Amino acid sequence: DAGITQSPRHKVTETGTPVTLRCHQTENHRYMYWYRQDPGHGLRLIHYSYGVKDTDKGEVSDGYSVSRSKTEDFLLTLESATSSQTSVYFCAISDSGRHVTDTQYFGPGTRLTVL
Amino acid sequence: GQQVMQIPQYQHVQEGEDFTTYCNSSTTLSNIQWYKQRPGGHPVFLIQLVKSGEVKKQKRLTFQFGEAKKNSSLHITATQTTDVGTYFCAGLRSSNTGKLIFGQGTTLQVKP
């Protein structure tokens, strides 16, 4: 497996509280992604980063923000968590976003429950 | 927006039976990738198809990319209990930004 870790692995929080999830990679890959996985929806892209301080929105970005101050770290923040953000969150990395043979490597996931 | 539809959503088979999942995109894809996620695990890359009409095999798994590069399939011959999991297709758009569009996944259960 690629060197990707996510923290925390499990979190239970209350509605309205801020939450930050961390993704850390040791592969020096340029691209990093945050997905959420919900039954019946597969994997949906929240935000992605194509370099330090370079980020863009995915298809379900409302209620989420991201930051990338170093190549190896990509943070996902829920400013004010809601129950609809209960999900499993996966971070992924890839070595190129513009190469036709690109593949993504996923971290172990974070299970977030918002009560 | 662009969608990638995957069917069926669930499939239960007896061990030894064959299994197929289908993936259809609303737009032409630059390439298509397949991932497998074991229960409780994370998605793991299986294969990538790039060329129109391409067919690739990995042991009992056969992957096809349609001639129009808008559909794909994964066929497993003689399923085993180790094949249990969810299989996702993911398309990279022709005007790619590096973002993959994932299908909803097909969850395979294999009865021994």
pLDDT by residue (tens digit) across A38-67? 988 889 999 999 889 999 999 899 999 999
* Long-range Cβ contact pairs of B41-45 (< 8 A, separation 24 or more): B41/A108, B41/B85, B42/A90, B42/A106, B42/A107, B42/A108, B42/A109, B43/A43, B43/A90, B43/A104, B43/A106, B43/B88, B44/A106, B45/A103, B45/A104, B45/A105
Find, in chain A, the residue whose alpha carbon is nearest to that of B96.
Answer: A98
What is the full per-residue pLDDT of chain B (112 aa) written as tens digits?
Answer: 668 999 999 999 999 999 999 999 988 988 899 999 999 999 999 999 999 999 999 999 999 999 999 999 999 999 999 999 999 999 886 555 667 889 999 999 999 9
Output the six-digit token pair for A95.
């070595």
Contact A106 B96 (CB under 8 A): no
Nearest CA in chain A to B4: A42
Does the pLDDT of residue A98 top 60, yes or no?
no
Which of A43, A103, A109 comes nearest B88 by C-beta? A43
Does A100 score more than 80 pLDDT? no
Q: Is B88 on the interface with A (CB under 8 A)?
A: yes
- Secondary structure (H, E, C), A34-91: EEEEECCCEEEEEEEEEECCEEEECCCCCCEEEEEEECCEEEEEECCCCHHHCEEEEE
């497996």: which residue's tokens? A1
Is there a contact between B50 and A90 if contact means CB atoms under 8 Å apart?
no
Q: Tell me which residue in A94, A107, A109 faces B98 most closely, judged by beta carbons.
A: A94
For residue A90, which of A30, A18, A41, A17 has the smallest C-alpha distance? Answer: A41
Mean pLDDT of all residues in A74-86: 97
Element (H, E) at B34: strand B29-37
Mutation to test the A interface, candidates B2, B50, B100, most A Cβ within 10 Å: B100
Q: What is the pLDDT of residue B98?
A: 65
Instruction: Please give the pLDDT value at position A95.
Output: 79
DSSP letter (8 states) at residue A16: T
B1 touches chain A (CB under 8 A): yes
